[in-house]
Structure 1
Amino acid sequence: MIKTMKKPFAGLLVLVLIMSVLSACSGNSKSTSTEGVKQEITMNAVSEPPSLDPALATDTTSGWILDHLYEGLYMKNKSGDSVKGLAKGVKVSKDKKVYTFKLRDDAKWSDGDPVKAQDFEYAWKHVLDPKTGSSFAFYMYYIKGAEAYNKGKGSVEDVGVKALDDKTLQVELAAPIGFIEKLLSFWVYYPVKKETAEGNKNWAAEAKDYVSNGPYKLTEWKHNRSVVIEKNKSYYGKDDVNMEKVTWKMVNDATTYYQMYKSGELDLIQTLPSDVINQEKDNKEYKVTPYFGTYMYMFNVDKEPFNNQKVREAFNLAIDRKMITDKITQAGEKPAQAFVPYGAESGGKDFRKEKEQYFQEDVKKAKQLIKEAMKEEGWSQFPETELKYNTLDSNKKIAEAVQEMLKKNLGVDVKLTNQEWKTYLDTTKQKNFQMARMGWIGIYVDPTPILDYYLGDSPNNRTNWVNPKYDKLLAQSKTEQNEKKRMELLHQAENVLMKDLPFMPVYYYSNNYLTSSKFKGVVYPVNRYPYVRWAEKTE
């Protein structure tokens, strides 16, 4: 998933603040210490969420809000595990390809109507419909017939999703997979109310038209200013929802939102200004958490100078990643000299630790590669080069550092330009760039959702880089039932990627936060922003 606010880490533990002891006689989730306290929290989304339609959302800001508004067949609990959500039961065929889900009888939409199996069938097939243009449709390719339909080579009737009745959903997979519960808790698999979506194509654009089925409902959306959600009284688990109201402001200047936190206007912020991190490190409200993703720069391999692999390699060799993490980001990030972050374990082994890096910074070699590339391409002078990034204080500082390193080490002048997030996403989607900042977060903790980013036909791969060998290895890994062999195939795929280098990995994410001590029970997932359903304000 595309990361909107950028900070990294290594390691993979979901950190959870322990909730207040529950009153033995209360009969609900409120502790005696919260009686009379308005359960409201205000956070900072930084920018406008590009889309609150589960079919179209691709970024962590939109996903942050969607995860509070919806619930799928499975949901994430406080520990980050996928557990049954709207699915009260499931039967699996002997070949592990057909899943039959029974929905909860008390599952309802925020308008009080029942959630039906038909809503899931509609939503999933809508994601896969080529006309929808969902960039995350490929996450459904595990379903029989899904890929063919999405690519215009098959029929919607052949997609293995069918509502057998109002409360029974049958899903047929193309091949058995061992992580279906993790997939089904991801927002692309959320249901959408069929009647609402078919009656209004812009249903997800304004709060007044919005219908959801999770612990919260959307009550206010002042575009580019704020989003407000409030407890959904129709939600079956409403008694387990502590926080009554959640507000996201949209302030992208780090100094401003830091000051708003210090003055009490914001209760939780992430990605602190780098110049305040040292002074806040001893603050009991300061927190650093792991985040399963990679901060990087994409290269458009169809545009000079990045059409030449030697230039791409030279740029990778010419920057000092440790200086960036030590002096600029300063929040426990690890320099990235590969793509898959730390924390994806299999058989007791961390995928990243098996091969931690593919290269070392080497200015001498980088200079030689630039000379060779210029000779090969017939360039009398190095082509004009532009680096684009989305507007954020930390992104600016990192881009300026990279700009200076490339000038000093390679003699290359790089122009910097920035755009607001929604515009930036569209610009990069149109592949209107030479070199552009991006972050990628795994939808679940495994090398696969990370490496999927650079699949040749992935809409998220904006580099124009296509390597059939890479695609084939990833395809093989997804049907490989032997876990050791699956990991071997994923390592081989990453080897191909790191040889061609259509990108420049910079660091593995972590997130740093300031959370008001008035709040307990905030959950900090390893691949999402904070979840506040179970949080309580104590004063």
Structure 2
Amino acid sequence: MKKVFASIFALLLLVSTVLAGCGSKGTSEDGAAKNIKQEITLNAMSEPPSLDPALASDTTSGWIIDHLFEGLYTKNQKGEPVLGAASDVKVSDDGKTYTFTIRDNAKWSDGDPVTAQDFEYAWKRVLDPKTGSPFAFYMYYIKGAEEYNKGKGSADQVGVKALDDKTLQVELKAPLGYFDKLLTMWTFYPVKKSLVESNPKWAAEAKGYVSNGAYRLTEWKHNSEVVIEKNQHYWNKDAINMEKVTWKMVNDATTYYQMYKTGELDLIATLPTDAIAQEKNNKEFKVVPYFGTYMFMFNVNKEPFNNAKIRRAFAMAIDRKAIVENITKSGEKPAYAFVPYGVNTPDGDFREVGGAYFEENVKEAKKLLQEGMKEEGWSKLPEVTLIYNTAENHKKIAEAVQEMLKRNLGVKIKLANQEWKTYLETTDQSNFQMARMGWIGIFVDPTVILDYYLGDSPNNRTNWVNKQFDDLMAKAKVEQDDKKRYELLHEAEKVLMTDMPFIPVYFYSQNYLTSPKFKGIVYPVNRFPDVRWAKKIAE
């Protein structure tokens, strides 16, 4: 009997060993098959206006650029700034001078080394007035940067200097507690000096495009798709799971929703409003906070929005609660100010401390409208057209606002839409009266939200300039006492909301459907999903 049991035990051991071998042969530690292609297909919704870090000013372009490039700092999976292309940083005792060491193994996607000169060149290129970078003002913290960008100084006076191939020195005008966070923004990414100098159109096509981040650009079919693949020269390539990322460009919400359902897309954002209710209990459905504000800008140089009372009347006549409950339906919060919730200050959440700057009040709105028209000498309100960029949700919101203004103020407005790239050009040229816009903070701080309406900000398409607002913002940026800094920012927001060159509608949240075949996708509060660490675990 002992021999029989021994034989059975040996047989079971052999079978279990074979089965274990079969199970481990095709799987990794997390159970994902090793031979599964690590590829993911996303939806950019529209053509990215620019894949040049110096020129990009929108979240679509930034989403792709963030996967292609890496700054001195990058963000980890928790969204925290960590050293990226730099291996070390030393900060002077007064907090104004940063000395970065570029990694020895930091390389461009063509294999050439990334140098400190590349960073110096890239940053000064952003500041060069001839470049026309819309985000140059984010570098104004640097000594001499603002002067150079405004044509009042030279590039040599900018506090950015390559001391040698691997050492970059940066001098600030004043200490900045969130400088590491700021440097994770794409405006501060390097570009390859020799490439950009030899080919001004280097970023217009995939061929010849060179980057230094986790991926390289391999295909760009304009208005169709962008494809990136893992950069084998990236210093931290072993930490990158996803080998290939494809962005389709499908703007119609019903279409991209169906593409997700049929497996043509692995992740979609901004579901069609009709689909949200049926997907809410789906494990693939996710809603995350998004640090930004949905708004309608006024061109204060065009009638009737040259009058502040009329601007406020329009703002007070819109039912935000109805919009977020009946149209967006993803947990957005009605906005009665500009800075969203989510900023912790010594006194509490910045938005809760600041409170609301107005309320919905149809009776008061009608009164303000009449007063404004009387001030301008109008018996009839000039014709108004509201423009928005093509997307189903924007259309529905615009139609709702159109109906609310008609019902509450007796004002009839026209609607018009344009594709995203054209839309940005139209609004940039101030060729509008009232226009949809959204603004997402590059990191969670009131400054980067309020910066939108600086008088010299290229993103401020309203033509609204207020010296008091600009002065308060300038003081806040050099204030070292956190409590006082937030107080100055509250004052600045109050000035902005008193003049109201825009209508805040709601504070964003973002909804997604993500295929259960993937894990490890990161959903930042101020960016679209980061798929560098994503892993496909099933076919």
Do they superpose with TM above 0.5?
Answer: yes
Q: Which amino acid aligns with 2:450?
A: L
Q: Take 2:53 and 2:30, find their aligned partners in 1: how far apart are those partners?
A: 34
**1:472 aligned partner:** 471
Aligned to 1:367: 366
More RCO (CA 8 Å, sep 6+): 1
- Residue in 2 aligned with 1:357? 356
Match of 1:227 in 2: 226
Q: 1:242 to 1:279 in 2, by over 3 A?
A: same
C-alpha separation between the residues in 1 aligned to 2:206 and 2:390? Answer: 26
Q: Distance in 1 between matches of 2:348 and 2:236?
A: 37
Q: Is the 8 A contact 1:226 1:248 kept in 2?
A: yes
Greater C-alpha Rg: 2
Partner of 1:17: none
The correspondence of residues 345-494 of structure 1 with structure 2, limited to 5 A, is: 345-347=344-346, 349-494=348-493
Which stretch of the first structure deviates more once superposed, 33-42 or 145-154? 33-42
Q: Deviations over 1:106-134 (max 9, x none)?
A: 00000000000000000000000000000
Q: CA RMSD in A?
A: 1.2
Contact residue 385 and residue 415 of structure 1 kept, 8 A? yes
SS class of match (2:32): helix
Q: Residue 29 of structure 1 contacts residue 242 of structure 1 at CA under 8 Å; is this kept in 2?
A: no
Cα distance between partner residues in 1 of 2:280 and 2:373: 46
Q: Partner of 2:137 in structure 1?
A: 138
**Identical counterparts, % of pairs:** 71
The DSSP-based 3-state class of the residue aligned with 2:40 is strand
The equivalent residue for 1:68 is 67
Partner of 1:14: none
Residue 32 of structure 1, CA deviation = 4.5
Structure-1 separation of matches of 2:469 and 2:404: 31
- For the residue of structure 2 that corresponds to 1:506, the secondary structure is strand
How far apart are 1:355 and its partner, in Å?
Answer: 2.4
- TM-score (norm: length of structure 1): 0.94
> C-alpha displacement at 1:184, in angstroms?
0.7
Q: Is the 8 A contact 1:215 1:235 kept in 2?
A: yes
Which residue identity does 1:130 align to in structure 2? P
Distance in 1 (CA, whole Å) between partners of 2:207 and 2:63 is 20
Moved more, 93-102 or 56-65: 93-102
| One-letter amino acid matched to 1:306 | F
Gaps of 5+ in 2: 1-23
Which residue is 2:21 aligned to?
A: none
The alpha-carbon deviation at position 29 of structure 1 amounts to 9.3
Q: Which amino acid aligns with 2:482?
A: E
1:281 is matched with 280
Q: Secondary structure at the match of 1:42?
A: strand
Question: Deviation of residue 212 (structure 1)?
Answer: 0.2
Deviation at 1:358, TM superposition (A): 1.0
- 3-state SS, counterpart of residue 474 of structure 1: helix
The 3-state SS of whatever aligns with 2:357 is coil
Cα distance in 2 between the residues matched to 1:129 and 1:346: 35
Partner of 2:246: 247
| Aligned position for 1:5 | none
3-state SS in 1 of match to 2:151: coil
SS of 1:533's equivalent in the other structure is coil
Take 1:417 and 1:70, find their aligned partners in 2: how far apart are those partners?
36
Separation of aligned partners in 1, 2:29 and 2:149: 46
Classify the secondary structure of the residue corresponding to 1:169.
Answer: strand
Greater displacement, 44-53 / 343-352: 343-352
**Against the structure 1 CA distance between its residues 527 and 326, is the aligned structure 2 distance closer, same or farther, given a 3 Å change threshold?**
same
CA separation in 2, counterparts of 1:265 and 1:32? Answer: 24
Rounded to whole Å, the distance in 2 between the matches of 1:69 and 1:410 is: 48
Alignment-derived partner of residue 260 in structure 1 = 259
Corresponding position of 2:96: 97
Query: Residues of 2 paired with 1:503 and 1:33: CA distance?
Result: 49
> Counterpart of 2:295?
296
- Give the Cα–Cα distance (whole angstroms) in 2 for the partners of residues 432 and 305 of structure 1: 14
1:125-158 per-residue CA deviation (whole Å, 9 max, x = no partner) reads 0000000000100000000000000000111110
* 2:478 match: secondary structure: coil
Alignment of 1:45-84 (within 5 A): 45-84=44-83
Return the offset for 1:380.
Answer: 1.7
Report the AA paired with residue 460 of structure 1: N
Matched letter for residue 384 of structure 1? E
Give 1:483-522 correspondences, 5 Å limit. 483-522=482-521
Q: Deviations over 1:189-218 (max 9, x none)?
A: 000000110010000000011000000000
Q: Specify the code of the residue in structure 2 equivalent to 1:505.
A: P
Q: Which residue number corresponds to residue 343 of structure 1?
A: 342
Map Cα deviations across residues 462-505 of structure 1 (whole Å, 9 max, x no partner).
00101100000000000000000000000000000010000000
Q: In the alignment, does 2:84 pair up with 1:120? A: no
| Structure 1 runs of 4+ with >2 Å offset | 28-32
Please give the secondary structure, in 2, of the residue aligned with 1:209: coil
CA contact (8 A) 1:312 1:501 kept: yes
Distance 2:106 2:375 in 1: 63
CA contact (8 A) 1:30 1:242 kept: no
**What corresponds to 2:11 in structure 1?**
none
Give the partner amino acid of 1:173. L
Does the CA contact (< 8 Å) of 1:342 and 1:351 recur in 2? Answer: yes
User: Contact (CA 8 Å) 1:34, 1:536: kept in 2 or not?
Assistant: no
- Report whether the alignment pairs 1:86 with 2:85: yes
TM-score (norm 2): 0.94
Distance in 1 between residues matched to 2:131 and 2:489, nearest whole Å = 30
1:152 aligns with 2:188: no
Structure 1 residue 348 displacement after superposition:
6.2
Determine helix, strand or coil for the equivalent of 1:478: helix
Q: Which amino acid aligns with 1:174?
A: K
Amino acid at match of 1:114: P
Shift of 1:95: 1.1
Q: Please list every run of 5 or more consecutive structure 1 residues that lacks an aligned counterpart in the other structure.
A: 1-24
Q: Is residue 2:219 matched to residue 1:204?
A: no
Q: Number of aligned residue pairs: give it.
A: 514
